Amino acid sequence: MGHEWDFAFLLGQRDFILRGILGTFGLAITCVLAGMALGLVFAAARLSRFAALRLLGTCYVEFFRNIPVLVQILWCYFAIPIITGAQPGPFAAAATAVSLYAGAYMTEIFRSGIQSVEKGQWEAARAIGFGYLAQMRYVVLPQAMRSITPPLTNQVMEVVKTTAIASTIAYGEVLYSAKVLSDQEFRPIESYTAVGVFFIVVLALVSAASSLLERRLRRHG
């Protein structure tokens, strides 16, 4: 059956679409950065010499990794206001849920990356007089990045895709824009195709950036 493809109507909705794109970027960047921060902190906890911190790290990972992210988003949006009496906006709810979810995976990525660095590197840094944070920052993390980058890239791409789920609580990202436009203009094919193309382009860029970084990290023996 013949469908007449016509993307022209999208041009008339430039501002609306742009707002969706910015919404996706805003949420994705927030969640990637927050997820990485959570991942670093909890990875350090999981590798701590204190059993209580290790347990805390394990609980965090097991809890947030094993609940579907959609459930977490809905929980943040619908359950939190009942418990606390304060209604988070769709952005806050989605950002919290996706960050915690991504952070759980990133914890494991950072943990195994940090563990791949030889113990002697920590010791050499310690012997110079570096404290824990300096050992991590100047010596361990730069080396761990080599094994962290590939899985971290996958995870970042996963986060970017996951932001689409925020449309279920009416957060204005690209999928939400597409849904609205598709209903308005009766053009679901073009609308959702455009969303697909958008994600392919963005993720291809992320992937290319990561390859570049990987090559830089691999330069020295």
Partner 1 sequence: MDEVLRVENLHKRFGLLHVLRGIDLSVHKGETIVILGASGSGKSTLLRCLNFLEMPSEGRITIEGRLVGRETGTPGVMSYGTRELNALRARVGMVFQQFNLFPHMTVEGNVMIGPMKLRGMTEETARTLAHDNLRRVGILEKAREYPARLSGGQQQRVAIARALAMEPTMMLFDEATSALDPELVGEVLLSMRRLSEEGMTMLVVTHELGFAYNVADRVIFLEGGMVHEEGTPQEVLQNPKQERTREFLRSHTLFRLPDPAPEAAGHS
Task: Catalog residues that contact partner 1 under the rule CB under 8 A.
Answer: 118, 120-121, 123-131, 134, 138-139, 142-143, 220-221
Closest contact distance (angstroms) between CB of 183 and partner 1 is 53
User: Considering beta carbons, is residue 124 or 209 the nearer one to partner 1?
Assistant: 124
Three-state SS string over 130-150 comes to CCHHHHHHHHHHHHHHHHHHH
> Nearest distance from residue 221's CB to partner 1, in Å?
3
Contacts of 141 (CB under 8 A, 6+ apart): 114
CB nearer to partner 1: pick between 85 and 120: 120
Distance from C-alpha of 160 to C-alpha of 44, rounded to nearest angstrom: 25
Residue 58 beta carbon to partner 1: minimum distance, rounded to whole angstroms? 24
Closest approach, Cβ 181 to partner 1, in A, equals 48
State the Cα–Cα distance between residues 111 and 44, nearest whole angstrom: 7
Which alpha helices (H) appear in the chain, and where do they start and end?
Answer: 8-12, 14-46, 51-65, 69-74, 80-84, 90-115, 119-128, 132-134, 141-162, 174-185, 188-217
Q: How far is the CB of 125 from partner 1 (least distance, A)?
A: 8
Return the number of the residue (67 or 141) whose C-beta is nearest partner 1: 141
Q: Could you give the CA distance from residue 166 to residue 111 in angstroms, rounded to a whole number?
A: 28
Closer residue to partner 1 (CB): 62 or 123: 123
Task: Between 5 and 138, name the residue whose CB sits nearer to partner 1.
Answer: 138
The residue count for the chain: 221
